[in-house]
Chain A
Amino acid sequence: MTELSINVNGQSQVVNVDPTTPVLWVLREHLGLTGTKYGCGKAICGSCTIHLNGTPIRACITPVAACTSGKITTIEGLSENNNHPVQKAWVEAQAPQCGYCQSGQIMQAVSLLKNNTNPTREEIKSYLSGNLCRCAAYMRIINAVEIASKIS
């Protein structure tokens, strides 16, 4: 066990964990930020997508020790009042079904739109193809990204 300091959603947090612990469990089980989900544990499904210094990473395979010098953003820290353009677009498109993958989808989409404000459909599909949705709400997720690109 090691005392580690990490910056999550603008706040500094101290946790006492094994440094090899995936940051996913630190966020969820130690800090109570359960919006980030466990889906596969092998970076195949994207449900655990968070941002480290603004770049999307898969929290399930990233050791917490690799996050100590950067800034983590989770779905909870995306906006003050759930009014990030991507979140608003997600509601407008009625994108989620079971919703379990959606934090990861949203975090991945936010990153896409930051780098590419007006992505084509093919670019959206390609950038989000690492995020699985078993409900297969894909048509609406694509639509939501398109809406977000218009309102952001």
Chain B
Amino acid sequence: MEGQIKSKGISRRKFVGIIGGGVVFLVSAWKLAPNLFLDEEGNQINSSTDFEGQKVTVWVQIHEDDFITIYNPSSEMGQGSMTALAVIIAEELDADWSKVNIEQSSANPSIYGAGWGGRGRSMITVGSRTVSSYYNTLRQAGAQARFVLLTNAAKSLGVSIDELTTEPNKVIHKASNRQMSYGEIAKIVKPMDDVPDIAESKLKKPEDFRLIGKIGPRFDIPSKCNGSAQYAMDIKVTNMVYGVISRSPVYGAKPILLNKSEIINSPGVVNIVELDHGIGLITDTLELALKIKPKLRIEWSTGNKAENFNSFDAYNTYPEIAEQRLSSGNVLSQKGNISNGLKSGLRTYSSDYKNDFVYHAQQEPLNALVSVAADGQSAEAWVGTQAPGNNRNAIAQELGIDPSKVEFHRTYLGGGFGRRSSSDYVVEATKLSNVQKQPVKLVWTREDDLQYGMFRPQSLQRMEASVDNSNNIIGWKHIIVGTGNNLLGSGAKPQFYSIPNLHVEVRNINHGVRTKHWRGVGHGANKFAIESFVDEIASDLSIDPLEFRLKLMKDSPRAQNVLRTVAERANWQSPSANGRAKGIAFAERSRSLAACVCELSVDKDSGRIIVHKIWATLDAGVVVQPDNAIAQMEGAILMGMSSILKESITFRNGQVEQSNFDDYNILRMDEVPDSLEVHIIPSKVRPTGIGESGVPIIGGAIANAFATLTGKRLKHIPFTPTKVKLVLES
């Protein structure tokens, strides 16, 4: 099955020495020792080399038939990194891409994790950081695997390694006109005691890349066009039963099941599991679970913090908090003297922006299959997750066992967007299976997934700025008030705008409801506010918003280039047709830079905003898979547009007021623009993140185009037709 995720990666095979017609290369960032192998639990065995204290990892298997298996440590949720990471290894290995297969690695962070942010190795696919965090490690891994092949070929051919070169899947000895395929070398390869680090200078130069920047098709796509791609929802194992949970409507409320005997005596009901936050129901079939779930009569405890929370009313309390003393919250960024900066300006500006909670709405609702052994001392799990390492630990912790006793299978994810980086749903499935001691497939309904969601925080953005007599912004104050702690602050620092006096601060209020990373985290809301505010100032000064931004970016030619390029591609200076207008915005995310121009019109009768065209540019360093990067930008821009135009989660008395896609609207196909052009700026520097870069640029572009078109400014996302009409009539 092409493109299928094989969850039984290397750890389930017993590799001792050279077996099964192939050799496994165990590659660390710095060493490669083919004589180190892993047992079923992923533990190192048969070591003849002292690697104590080193983290030894396994990436490549070469088969005698010349095929190559590359192990993928990342979670594949549609962002394409399972292919991109394999491309990076294959490039330095000098592999023939048509002979490469990709399999999932085991979920063992000490082997397959990447270090980032100084936090040690972790296996977590978040923050658009997969390719950038694995790039150097996997180039080295590929180069070291190639070195082993060269060393063995040199011995076999009786020549010096320096006389050998490689072509895809071949070692060549030009002088004697001889060659060995990688498959042939796999037959004779001998373990090496030590493999040197391959010097950076010996790695391929970007201009010599055969695969990086060139490979188009993603490995997983064929299986996603014929129904064979397996998501956790699709896994079925012997003796499996189904679980659903009726969860607290108000976060924190505890349940008492009032009709337990009636439910437990219903045909097909296997068990009832009373949890802190809900009632679990285990049944023979899924349809029965779904049918009986609404019949659970549950009394919920009261007195929880969230139960007085009304999200719209909460906005009324934010301005007062925004006016509190400077630095009363969490200061994210400070420069110069903000009080003097704001006071000494020739003109001053102030503006408030708001954003409602938004829901992940990943198309595959949360689910997990966990099987706890009869003695409770081991478990097996099948999960579509962004955080396999954390999930595995969470299962182990729940059962009080060592993580090595959890056999963890990773499947494709039917969307993640930040929701699947938590372990809550995996722990729930573990609890049900631990009571039942049978494999339990826990399924969240769409309503469960939405109403017990974790949302991108609601917030108010209080912006203040001052401008001197040369139209330079000399003071910039951005106070974010909302619920969601660190989630609120990302992207709030305008790091590519040169402003001498700056203050950025988050003031968190705990409303008692759940918040979570949502694609781009705080960038979506913060960049909308920042980019709108920049345009407000430019408009008041009668300066072209492109020119105004270029001046703000005077210390960053790279950012200027991204913005200038999008302006050129969108013909920024040429006026739009009657009834239409363009808007521009810039944002950095995950160290990549992106800019956007959109052109829209407004249907004044309905209040509907119609986005006709979008142009975007991206500077993300070396782009491993350009076509996929474009796909990511397209998707992220449109998902961002969905959040800007349509999406809103509201709470009344602590309860989420929406329940499914009929009252939580997301973008549909008849709402997409006529064209969406993405241009990737060529670069030779190390890759930066891509998957979220499209989200933060679209909000400002839409708001700014709307302001240019109508003279009115939309300041509260989402820009629903009702809100648009209110603003137009104001």
Contact = CB atoms under 8 A, between A and B. Distances in A.
Contacts of B80: 97
A100 B635 contact: no
Interface string A118-152: 00010011101111111111111110000000000
Contact of A44 (B234, B417, B637, B662): B662
Given A125-B670, A138-B638, A140-B634, A94 B222 contact: no
A82 interface: yes
Contacts of B637: 136
B100 interface: no
A75 B669 contact: no
B364 A37 contact: yes
Interface in B669-685: 669-672, 674, 676
Contact of A136 (B287, B364, B628, B667): B667
A16 to B, nearest CB: 10
Contacts of B661: 39-40, 42, 44-45, 132
Contacts of A17: 285, 287
Most buried by B among A33, A129, A135: A135
B569 interface: no
A10 interface: no
Contacts of A74: 227
Contacts of A36: 227
Contacts of B674: 121
B226 A126 contact: no
A99 to B, nearest CB: 3
Interface in B67-82: 77-80
Interface string B456-479: 000000000000000000000000
Contact of B225 (A34, A39, A106, A126): A106
A136 B227 contact: no
Contacts of A106: 225
Contacts of A102: 224-225
B287 A94 contact: no
Contact of B668 (A37, A100, A129): A129
Contact of A76 (B78, B226, B641, B669): B226
A101 B226 contact: no
Interface bracket on B: 35 or more
A59 to B, nearest CB: 12
A94 B628 contact: yes
Contact of B220 (A32, A38, A99, A133): A99
Contact of B78 (A35, A90, A99, A121): A99
A130 B78 CA distance: 21
A34 B414 CA distance: 13
Contacts of B197: none
Contacts of B287: 17-18, 21-22, 25, 29
Nearest to A28: B234
A135 B669 contact: no
B229 interface: yes
Contact of A90 (B77, B220, B225, B290): B225
Interface string B308-341: 0000000000000000000000000000000000
Interface string A71-85: 000111011001000
B474 to A, nearest CB: 39
Interface in B240-269: none
B54 interface: no
Contact of A97 (B223, B364, B635, B676): B635
Contacts of B417: 134
Nearest to B217: A94
A9 to B, nearest CB: 11
Contacts of A98: 77-78, 362-364, 412-416
A interface secondary structure, majority? loop
A29 B236 contact: yes
Given A99-B412, A100-B364, A137-B634, A76 B236 contact: no
B188 interface: no
Contact of B672 (A39, A99, A139): A139
B226 A82 contact: yes
A152 B70 CA distance: 36
B634 A45 contact: no
A32 B237 CA distance: 11
Contacts of B631: 94, 97, 137, 140
B355 interface: no
B226 A75 contact: yes
Given A37-B364, A40-B660, A101-B363, A94 B415 contact: no
Interface in B210-241: 216-218, 220-231, 233-234, 236
B639 interface: yes
B446 A97 contact: no
B133 interface: no
A142 B628 CA distance: 17
Contacts of A28: 234
Given A45-B661, A142-B669, A136 B642 contact: yes
Interface in B180-200: none
A25 B286 contact: yes
Interface in B438-455: 443, 445-447
B226 to A, nearest CB: 4
B381 interface: no
A136 B639 contact: yes
Contacts of B537: none
B363 A94 contact: no
B227 A45 contact: no
Most buried by A among B77, B217, B635, B666: B635
A91 interface: yes
Interface string A1-44: 00000000000000001100110010011001111111111101
B709 interface: no
A56 interface: no
Contacts of A33: 227
A91 B80 CA distance: 14
Nearest to B447: A41
Interface in B279-299: 285-288, 290-291
B228 A37 contact: no
Nearest to A81: B226
A123 to B, nearest CB: 10
24 contacts: A21-B287, A25-B285, A29-B286, A29-B287, A32-B236, A37-B231, A39-B446, A41-B660, A42-B662, A45-B363, A45-B446, A76-B227, A91-B221, A94-B218, A96-B220, A96-B221, A97-B80, A98-B412, A98-B413, A99-B229, A102-B225, A132-B668, A135-B415, A136-B634
Interface of B: 77-80, 216-218, 220-231, 233-234, 236, 285-288, 290-291, 361-365, 412-417, 443, 445-447, 627-628, 631-632, 634-639, 641-642, 660-662, 666-672, 674, 676
Sort A-B residue pairs by CB-CB distance and give the 8 closest, nearest first.
A35-B227, A99-B224, A100-B414, A97-B78, A98-B78, A136-B638, A75-B227, A34-B234
Interface of A: 17-18, 21-22, 25, 28-29, 32-42, 44-45, 47, 74-76, 78-79, 82, 87, 90-91, 94-103, 106, 121, 124-126, 128-142
Given A75-B226, A100-B415, 13 more contacts: A18-B291, A25-B286, A34-B236, A39-B661, A42-B662, A47-B363, A75-B227, A91-B225, A96-B78, A102-B224, A134-B639, A135-B363, A136-B636
